[in-house]
Amino acid sequence: MLDEDIKVIVFGDYSDFYRYANNCCALGRFTTAFFIEQKKEIVVFKNEEFIRSLSHEISHALTVGRGLHKYPWFDEGLAEVLSTYHLDSLGQLNNEVLFLTDSLKIGARTTRGLKRFMNFERKEWDALTPNESYGMAWVLVNYLYQEDRILLTKILDGISRDVSPAETIASNGEKGIKDFVRSLKRHYRRNKYKLVKTRQKL
């Protein structure tokens, strides 16, 4: 996808954005941006989160055709994590926090529950609340990016060979997913994430 042109359409009025979205795609849930693979088109509503929304959809455009769509948590989580990084006025790369980790009750998550989440198909994913879907997806991929990039690379490689992320995690190390969940919880106990101001208003 990297060598193809992507068209970006930006709407300043949400009613115009909604009309376009409804006519082209009949979206089933509230959104402010989406990527249309067939048309190679990103459509975005210009609000306070415009840059992050655009970055999220660019991630989908760059990874289309690589099999990530089969695993909603990884596909959306990777897009959420990538959308948090930006260059400041000094050219330094900074990242922002999109979800209140305390509200996600990461410490109370069970290995069985997280394994089930990682195996959700799109229909099951769409039935979740934004916090339970995008929030938990961000939690998982953010942990991988911050703490275990080798495993993150293995997951991407596995997807290219039609091996699910859950299978790759399960085969990683002696205790696989149990060790993964323990390390995940330890990361969020040690690191307190604060929401960006625009998210605090939502």
Q: E strands along 88-144, which residues? A: 93-95
- Taken in order 52, 58, 59, 60, the sign of the CA dihedral is positive
The whole model's pTM is what?
0.88
- Taken in order 20, 12, 5, 86, the sign of the CA dihedral is negative
Q: In a 3-state reduction of DSSP, which class is residue 128?
A: coil
Q: What is the DSSP string of 73-87?
A: HHHHHHHHHHHTEEE
pLDDT of residue 200: 45
- Are the C-beta atoms of 52 and 84 separated by less than 8 Å? yes
Task: Work out the pLDDT band at 188, boundaries 50, 70, 90.
Answer: very high
- Are the C-beta atoms of 72 and 128 separated by less than 8 Å? no
| Tens-place pLDDT, residues 38-68 | 899 999 999 988 999 999 999 999 999 899 9
> What average pLDDT is seen over the chain?
89
Q: Cβ atoms within 10 A of the Cβ of 33, count?
A: 26
pLDDT of residue 164: 96
pLDDT higher than 60, residue 202: no
| Tens-place pLDDT, residues 63-91 | 998 999 999 999 999 999 999 888 777 88
